Structure 1
Amino acid sequence: MTTTPAGGTETIEAPASAPASVHQWVTIVWDDPVNLMSYVTYVFQEYFKYPQAKAEELMLRVHHDGKAVVSTGNREEMERDVLAMQGYNLWSTMEQS
């Protein structure tokens, strides 16, 4: 409650928390003409700890579809993942899903 200039009181309600799905973000790795498919697979295994089959599946999605969602989480986690992918010289971005 707060006091208004006229001396009355006003109730201010906190906004309802947003559903968890609103807070989901994704990291996207995009196809590029520079990195070898074997290197992209290696990065997915090394950084995300994906098994080889999952890393190859994601790499093929990047290669054939032009992009792949490689991780999902909150904004801070996806910022970290995007920076890591860029550190490996992979073209990556994030967006809210």
Structure 2
Amino acid sequence: MLYIDCPYCGKRAHEEFTYIGDATKKRPDGAEKNDPAWVDYVYTRDNPRGPHLELWHHGLGCREVVKVLRNILTHEILGAGRPADDIPLPETETKP
């Protein structure tokens, strides 16, 4: 079982949360009428490997949105915080 450390409620089982989406995607400006920018935002998704920032909704708890750093390959939760928090990605190993 996965546990997400909610910044509002503390450590909770992941069943209390609902995945919202990619936390790294930036929404286009509301005044922008550029269709390609909106199509990219809505439909284009990367398929990352390793650590990735995601947004989750704590629907069975505080009902707040939580930013979660999760390893996509292992499903390990590496960190969590408020949406505005800066959660640093772990350093990647480089081979000589």
TM-score class, shorter: under 0.3
User: TM-score, normalized by length of structure 2?
Assistant: 0.23
Q: Whose relative contact order is higher, 1 or 2, with alpha carbons under 8 Å and at least 6 apart?
A: 1
| Structure with the bigger percentage of helix | 1
